[in-house]
Amino acid sequence: MMLKNFFLCCFMLLCTLVTAQRPSAADSAFIRDNYTKREVLIPMRDGVRLFTSIYTPKDLSKKYPIIMRRSPYSCSPYGADTYTTRIQNMDLARAGYIFVFQDVRGRYMSEGNFVDVRPYIPTSDPSPKGKKQTDEATDTYDTVDWLLKYATGNNGRVGVMGISYPGFYSTMAILADHPAIKAVSPQAPVTDWFVGDDFHHNGAFFMMDGFGFYSGFGKPRPEPTTSGQPGFSDWKTPDNYDFFLRAGALRNLTEKFGMKDIPFWNELMEHPNYDAWWQARNPRPHLKNVKPAVMTVGGLFDAEDCWGAWNVYKSVEKQNPSSVSNRVVMGPWVHGGWGRGTGDRLGAVTFGSRTSEFYQKEIEFRFFEYYLKDAGKMDLPEAYVFETGSNKWSTYDAWPPKDARQVKYYFGAQGRLSTAPPANESRTSQTDRYTSDPANPVPYTDGVHLRRTNEYMVDDQRFASRRPDVITYQTEPLSSSVTVTGPVIADLWTTLSTTDADFVVKLVDVFPDTLQGRENGIPMGGYQMLVRGEIFRGRYRDSFEQPKAFTPGTAANVKFELPDVSHTFMPGHKIMIQVQSSWFPLADRNPQQFIDIYKAKDEDFIPCDIQLHRDAGRASGVILPIR
């Protein structure tokens, strides 16, 4: 039964069906007692009709703004006498809004054909008269137009919000450019599935999530339906590491485990590089001339779309004048954690307060009240970011903070990490070496489990430090606190014995050995907390569009960015960097040859001897933004 239920757990995690906070009996009763539900099919400009549920306050003595969520994950429950439990902020429900939930084109009860991360079609006139082709922006525009005419009691203002894939549709609402859309909140928005979100990180395929998700979600839907389709369940083991290692090369998942029947999976397999197909699915270049107020929300420990949240905000900020209302909120949350639970801990790491409740009441509620009702005062900062380690909310007038200094921490002999560069007089090559063996990849977390964990984002890394294929560098215990705010840059000089390899770089907070107590049964003395980890496929070191082989025996620079962090290393703690070349089965294995990995065979996977240089001319390290 556990194995059969795995896909449901994974699907709910990835699809954000769990991101709506579980309502209390009082919350459910409030919606039923105070709202009227209506189900409609809203026509789009090409005649396709989208299934939409509208919840209107019963008190029609005043007018209300609309908050809309468009989703590929169903706007269930279906039926006029069944009421939603998907309103993630009950403070908004009690304040009085019209809530709209819609199945996007081609999903569940909506007509038409579904396209994953459907490309945006630019135009100077988004109205039906000016733009005949359809995309998610036009569907948003047409839905809003209809609601203004037919949603009883609306005040002519619309807000859009959504988490994960619905976050992508929220970004599309910015591009819809409808004058009634006044406030948009993309939350953990799917943004770029090749560079940083969900299914690829810097070109490395996130195999475990991609397989678990698309084995069900990717199945074609021949006609409107109220139910989804099951995914793969024949695991024959409770251990995901064991399953994927035995499965072998990626092509085996396609040929032996049913993925050949999944259209989008097959498209992924045909586009190994960041070509025009991938670039068309990236909305960031189009986020110009933004009209609505935007508040992008994400989790510092979001295993799916942390990158998307940071980079939607940065794209709006970079491509628009300073007068545009653009904000970012990042808390110590997993995927969608701000919409469910309390946000006071993750695994063995505690955050000292109920951060999710604070966000809903003091940030999200105030944002929509101001821009949709002119209620309250808009004094929210440009960036509201939780600082782990010190466990406090910090506010900034820009992100990354303008006063952050770029400080390089160099790899040194005997695993030392310091800000002192290698001596110039060094005439011999100083290196650390390890062998990356695809037959024995480094696990992404400790223990045996089938479902990808949320907790791995802060997991104890002592299991990795003990492996010979993980190189570890650390500072002496800190005499004063060090606060890191912004993106971390990995700057590696490496020599390979083969033509390709991956690089995983992890920023780790090492707790004092003398620390007493346990959390979740784990001794916290010496705990090695993962603050940020990221993988990079080495062939893309110069370009995601044009991969390049390594020349065996010749040193090359591999420099890449890890998603932003906000963390304070407290006195007595140590800063640690770990470097390895696999992160399994979170990411697929690199055969360590310059071949098409999606078409590689089992016999193509070979060991690679890797050197990390740390001499004056080739000084490997990481660059930390220090405040």
C-alpha 311/C-alpha 315 separation (Å) is 6
% of the chain at pLDDT higher than 70: 96
- Same domain (yes/no): 476, 575: yes
Q: In this structure, are 160 and 48 located in the same domain? A: yes
Least confident stretch, 153-167, 480-494, 511-525: 511-525
Could you tell me if residue 306 is inside a domain?
yes
In a shared domain, residues 181 and 288: yes
- ∠ CA 510-512-513, nearest 5°, is 110
516 and 392 belong to one structural domain: no
| Within a domain: 522 | yes
With respect to residue 312, please indicate whether it lies within any of the assigned structural domains: yes
Range of the domain at 528: 405-626
| Same-domain check for residues 331 and 422 | no
Q: Is the pLDDT reported for residue 3 higher than 50?
A: no
- Are residues 389 and 414 both part of a single domain? no
Q: In CATH, what number is assigned to the domain containing residue 486?
A: 2.60.120.260
pLDDT tens track for 529-576: 999 999 999 999 999 999 999 999 999 999 999 999 999 999 999 999
pLDDT at position 8 is 40
Kindly state whether residue 274 falls inside one of the protein's structural domains. no
Return the pLDDT at 4: 39
In a domain, residue 258? The reply is: no
Structural domain includes residue 243: no
- Number of residues written out for the chain: 627
Residue 12 has pLDDT above 70, yes or no: no
Do 387 and 427 lie in one domain? The reply is no
Number of domains observed in the structure of the chain: 2
CA trace torsion 492, 498, 500, 502 (10° rounding)? -60
Boundary-marking domain end, from 370, 396, 422: 396
pLDDT-derived band at 426 (thresholds 50, 70, 90) equals: low
The rounded mean pLDDT for the chain is 94
Last residue of a domain, one of 327, 361, 396: 396
Q: What pLDDT digit, counting tens, does each position of 224-257 carry?
A: 999 999 999 999 999 999 999 999 999 999 999 9
Asked whether residue 6 carries a pLDDT value surpassing 60, the answer given is no
Q: How far apart are CA 559 and CA 587, in angstroms?
A: 19
Statement: residue 18 has pLDDT above 50: no
Q: Evaluate if residue 19 carries a pLDDT over 50.
A: no
Looking at the structure, tell me whether residues 460 and 339 fall in a common domain: no
Q: Average pLDDT, stretch 474-492? A: 98
Is pLDDT of 436 > 70?
yes
Q: What is the CATH number of the domain that holds 375?
A: 3.40.50.1820
pLDDT level of residue 176 (50, 70, 90 thresholds): very high
* pLDDT value for 225: 96
Confidence check: pLDDT of 334 > 50:
yes
Question: How many Cα atoms are found within 13 Å in the side-chain-facing hemisphere of 338?
Answer: 30
- 377 and 435 part of one domain: no
Between 126 and 65, the higher pLDDT residue: 65
Residue 220 within any structural domain of the chain: no
pLDDT at residue 226, as a whole number: 95
In a domain, 16, yes or no: yes
Contact 147, 53 (CB under 8 A): no
Q: Model confidence at 85, in pLDDT bands (50, 70, 90)? A: confident
Q: Are residues 370 and 414 in the same domain?
A: no
Asked if residue 612 has pLDDT above 70, the reply is yes
Sign for the pseudo-dihedral over CA of 587, 588, 590, 596: negative
Token pair 């999710």: residue: 356
User: What is 297-347 written as a DSSP string?
Assistant: EEETT-TTTHHHHHHHHHHHHHHS-TTS-EEEEEES-STTGGGSS--SEET
Pairing label, strands 98-103, 49-57? antiparallel
> How do beta strands 383-387 and 326-331 pair?
parallel
The domain boundary residue, chosen from 363, 396, 429:
396
- CA-to-CA distance for 6 and 452, rounded, in angstroms? 10
Q: Cα–Cα distance between 108 and 110 in angstroms, integer?
A: 6
The average pLDDT across 161-182 equals 98
473 and 416 part of one domain: yes
Q: If pLDDT is split at 50, 70 and 90, which confidence band does 23 have?
A: low
Question: What six digits make up the tokens of 253?
Answer: 């998942």
For residues 213 and 265, the answer to whether their CB atoms sit within 8 Å is no
Rounded Cα distance between 332 and 337, Å, is 8
Is the pLDDT confidence value at 303 over 90? yes
Answer yes or no: do 348 and 448 share one domain: no
Report pLDDT for 468.
98
Distance CA 614, CA 277 (A): 39
